[in-house]
Each structure stands twice: as structure tokens, then as C-alpha cells.
């Protein structure tokens, strides 16, 4: 969806999980079948269900501007100084193969920030070199360390034909900095084919963050944030005791920063539920409707769920911050990521109010992942939440896909 909304026309989708495939078909994709052909404009997007290791992609060579993927990168361990153990579920080798077969002008990968942890760095550096030189195919009998030595040598020589190497750029990002109402730290890797002569400065400008925490705090301190939410139709005004609680925890005397002053405020969970000019507010879920039922007066998948708990180490989302990272679990995953604290007072204990909490609905979680309300999710609740947790927030993907489009357009104009 992110690349489609950025002006690219999808030519092929691949997915291995059944319910995720059902979701793609429910939203307009169609089974490709055995025929390897490029769809005409206006045709449904072809979907191949199944293991990417069985997918042949050579028929797309020369037709693809952007290859986009989130290859799973499962645990990897360094078992001693000279030996690394690769997990067989690691699908980065399939990303390398896709680049070799398709030869796209550009590629974009999204993955967990854990790829950048120090213990993983040697292998992550190998991944980036593989993406630089995808046509240097690894010998099936070689270890990654042996193959990495070959790639290092190619990098040092600098004599690889430009059309057979890629310029690679790595971005550690927080999705909240790009308008996503969620703290989601990820790494995005972008590459451009070497013969395109792209301008890195254009890419740098196009990938700058658009939102900031400082701007959110200033909007709360000025009162603009609270005034805006008190004027949202179909949603209750923010109680004064909530405003006081939130404001008491803010760093109100922020130093003035010219760069952050031009950015928009981080979007909060309350912002996501309130909607915007294109999206209606989501109604509050009545406490008597936490019973797993779809009510006629509620949007689809806005279904209350019972038995939410909070305790130390399992704390809920709060409305006036971006949500926690949505994870690929049903509910009750470590950290309380699918539980939210409401504005509703349960009781007062001395001077400290105690607020009621509940599980977030699937539709609320989809809002946090910036999927539109008309995006249909297939499968039972647990599978729907798993799909959302495994996805790239649409606005984050769109920001970087648009950046790729901007760079490619610039390179074409200058060529």
C-alpha cells in the first residue's frame, strides 16, 4: 500500500501466510496463476501465495523501478571468533536473489532495529555488502564470512561495473518522526543501481523527519492540542484531571530549536482515534460491550475484548503519547502493547486518580499502524493483530517510497 500510494504500480506480490494472503485478495489483489506476465494498468495486482524460495522473478527483469520487501531476519549468533551461525529462516538471501533476477532501479527493505545492535554488526555489514554487490553470488558451500571476504575485496578494488552494484543507504528510524502515532524503531535500507547517477543530497532531503516530540509538547503547553481534541465531534471532551496529569509530567521549558520548530507534532494515540479530515472519529467502546461481539453501532472490527490486565512490566498505552510498538501477538504480549488506559476514572486513591483500561480493538490498532478504515483484515482477531504487528506502518513506508520516487525522478531529469 505504501509504494502504491507513492505513485508506483505494483507488478507482483508474494506472501506465505494464509490469512495475510486472504487480506491482500480482499483488498484487490488476485491470484497470478502459473502464467508469468506483467499486468496491464488497471488490472488487479497479481499475488503468488507461497514460499518466496520457490518464486521465480526473472520475467520482471527490466520492468521494475522499485523492489520493496521486509525479509525476515531471524536470530543469528556469532559462535566464536571465526564462525557465524545463520538461521535457516533468514530470508535476506532471497532479497539478494530477487535483486539479481529483477535488476530493479532501486530497492527498499524494512527490518527491526535489532539488526544494528553491536553483537549483530558484523553480519549486518555483510548484509549491506551483499546488497551493494548482489551479482556476486555466494557459493553454497561457503560460509558468510568467506563470502564477505570476497565482497570486501570487490569494495576495496572499486572496479565493479556500475550496473552490477548498488549504492546503499541505511536509516535507523522512529516511525513517530514520520507521522505514525506509534513509537516504532526500525531500520530502513535503500539502494539505487550504480548506473543511475543519483544525487544523495536529494535523498537526504527527502528522508528528513516531518514530526517531533518537542512540537507535540509545545502544542500541549500552548493548549492547541487540548482545544483541538475538545472540538472533535462524537468524542467526549478531555477531562480536566487528564490534562492536569499529562501536563504535570511534561518538560514545559524546552529550549528553542529552529529545526524542530518547523516540524509537526508527534501524533498520539488520541489523535489516531480522533481521525482527521479524511477519517471519522472512532467511537468509544462502552464498558458493557467488552464481550467479543460486533455491534451494529460500531465500525467493523471495532470489537471490545474482555479481561485486559496491567501490572509491573505490562503497562498500557496512554492516550496522549504515540502508542507503543504494535507487535505480532494477539493480546497480552509482553509490555502491554495492546492495552490502553482510558480517560474513565475507576476510583480515586488519595490524590492519585486510577483510570480504567481495556484491550485495544483491531480497528484502533490498524489506526495506530496508519491503515485506512476501509482496509479489510481477514482471519480471527489473533491473526488480524498478527498481520498488523508484522506490517510496515503505511505512512512510514510511504515517506520512504516517496523519497525513492523523488530521487529516481531527479536522476531521470538529469540523465
Residue whose cell numbers read 472519529: 281
CATH value at residue 266: 3.90.120
Helix axes 121-132, 144-157, angle to 10 degrees: 50
Task: List, for residues 109-152, the tens digit of each pLDDT value.
Answer: 999 888 888 888 888 999 999 999 999 999 999 999 999 999 99
User: Residues 159, 101: one domain?
Assistant: yes
Per-residue CA distances from 122 to 105, 161, 189 (Å):
27, 26, 16
82 and 156 belong to one structural domain: yes
Q: What is the pLDDT of residue 330?
A: 46
Q: Are residues 196 and 226 in the same domain?
A: no
Q: How far apart are CA 403 and CA 169, in angstroms?
A: 12
Degrees (nearest 5) of the Cα angle 62, 63, 67? 100
Domain match, 274 and 379 both? yes
Indicate whether 157 and 204 sit together in one domain.
yes
CA dist 211 and 231 (Å) reads 23
Q: Which residues contact 189 (CB under 8 A, 6 or more apart)?
A: 107, 108, 109, 110, 111, 127, 128, 131, 168, 169, 170, 171
Identify the pLDDT of residue 62.
93
Residue numbers of the chain with a pLDDT score lower than 70: 74-85, 252-260, 329-335, 348-352
Q: Which residues span the domain enclosing 195? A: 2-208+393-414
**Residues 168, 36 share a domain:** yes
Residue owning grid cell 506472501: 15
DSSP 216-231: HHHHHHHTHHHHHHTT
Q: What is the CATH number of the domain that holds 153?
A: 3.40.50.150
- pLDDT value of residue 348: 62
- Known catalytic residue at 21: no
Does residue 153 share a domain with residue 38? yes
Burial degree of 143 (CB within 10 A; 0-12, 13-18, 19+): middle
pTM for this one?
A: 0.93
The answer on 287 and 302 residing in a single domain is yes
User: Do 293 and 308 reside in the same domain of the chain?
Assistant: yes
Residue in 21, 73, 109, 378 annotated catalytic? 73
| One domain for residues 172 and 242 | no
Cell of 273: 482515534
Give the pLDDT confidence score for residue 86 in this predicted structure.
75
Same domain, 89 and 103: yes
Q: Is the dihedral of CA 149, 151, 154, 155 positive or negative?
A: negative
| Cell numbers for 72 | 525476515
Nearest to 389 by CA among 331, 339, 329: 329
Looking at residue 72, what is its pLDDT?
80
CA quadruple 303, 309, 314, 320: dihedral, nearest 10:
50
Both 235 and 115 in one domain: the answer is no
Question: What pLDDT is stored for residue 82 in this prediction?
Answer: 42
Amino acid at each position: 500500500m505504501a509504494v502504491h500510494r507513492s505513485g508506483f504500480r505494483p507488478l507482483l506480490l508474494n506472501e506465505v501466510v494464509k490469512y495475510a494472503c486472504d487480506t491482500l485478495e480482499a483488498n484487490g489483489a488476485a491470484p497470478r496463476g502459473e502464467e508469468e506476465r506483467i499486468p496491464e494498468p488497471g488490472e488487479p495486482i497479481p499475488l503468488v501465495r507461497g514460499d518466496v524460495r520457490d518464486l521465480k522473478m526473472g520475467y520482471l527483469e527490466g520492468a521494475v523501478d522499485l523492489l520493496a520487501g521486509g525479509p525476515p531476519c531471524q536470530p543469528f549468533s556469532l559462535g566464536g571468533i571465526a564462525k557465524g551461525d545463520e538461521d535457516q529462516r533468514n530470508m535476506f538471501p532471497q532479497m539478494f536473489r530477487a535483486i539479481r533476477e529483477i535488476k530493479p532501479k532501486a530497492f527498499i527493505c524494512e527490518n527491526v532495529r535489532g539488526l544494528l545492535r553491536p553483537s549483530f554488526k558484523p553480519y549486518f555489514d555483510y548484509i549491506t555488502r551483499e546488497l551493494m554487490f548482489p551479482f556476486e553470488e555466494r557459493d553454497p558451500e561457503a560460509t558468510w564470512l568467506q563470502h564477505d571476504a570476497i565482497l570486501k575485496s570487490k569494495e576495496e578494488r572499486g572496479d565493479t561495473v556500475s550496473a552490477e552494484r548498488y549504492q546503499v543507504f541505511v536509516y535507523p528510524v522512529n516511525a513517530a518522526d514520520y507521522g505514525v502515532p506509534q513509537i516504532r524503531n526500525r531500520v530502513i535500507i535503500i539502494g539505487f543501481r550504480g548506473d543511475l547517477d543519483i544525487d544523495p543530497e536529494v535523498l537526504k532531503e527527502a528522508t528528513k523527519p516531518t514530526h517531533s516530540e518537542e512540537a507535540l509538547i509545545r502544542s500541549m503547553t500552548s493548549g492547541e492540542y487540548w482545544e483541538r481534541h475538545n472540538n472533535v465531534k462524537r468524542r467526549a471532551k478531555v477531562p480536566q484531571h487528564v490534562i492536569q496529569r499529562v501536563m504535570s509530567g511534561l518538560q514545559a521549558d524546552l529550549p528553542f530549536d529552529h529545526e524542530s520548530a518547523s516540524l509537526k507534532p508527534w501524533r498520539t494515540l488520541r489523535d489516531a482515534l480522533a481521525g482527521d479530515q479524511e477519517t471519522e472519529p472512532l467511537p468509544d467502546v462502552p464498558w458493557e460491550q467488552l464481550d467479543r461481539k460486533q455491534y451494529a453501532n460500531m465500525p467493523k472490527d471495532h470489537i471490545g475484548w474482555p479481561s485486559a490486565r496491567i501490572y509491573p512490566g505490562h503497562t498500557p498505552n496512554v492516550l496522549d503519547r504515540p502508542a507503543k510498538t504494535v507487535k505480532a501477538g494477539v493480546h497480552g504480549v509482553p509490555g502491554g502493547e495492546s492495552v490502553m488506559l482510558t480517560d474513565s476514572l475507576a476510583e480515586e486513591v488519595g490524590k492519585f486518580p486510577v483510570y480504567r483500561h481495556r484491550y485495544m480493538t483491531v480497528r484502533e490498532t490498524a489506526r495506530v499502524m496508519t491503515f485506512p478504515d476501509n482496509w479489510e483484515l481477514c482471519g480471527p482477531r489473533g491473526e488480524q493483530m498478527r498481520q498488523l504487528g508484522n506490517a510496515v506502518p503505511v505512512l512510514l513506508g510511504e515517506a520512504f517510497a516517496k523519497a525513492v520516487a523523488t530521487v529516481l525522478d531527479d536522476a531521470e531529469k538529469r540523465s
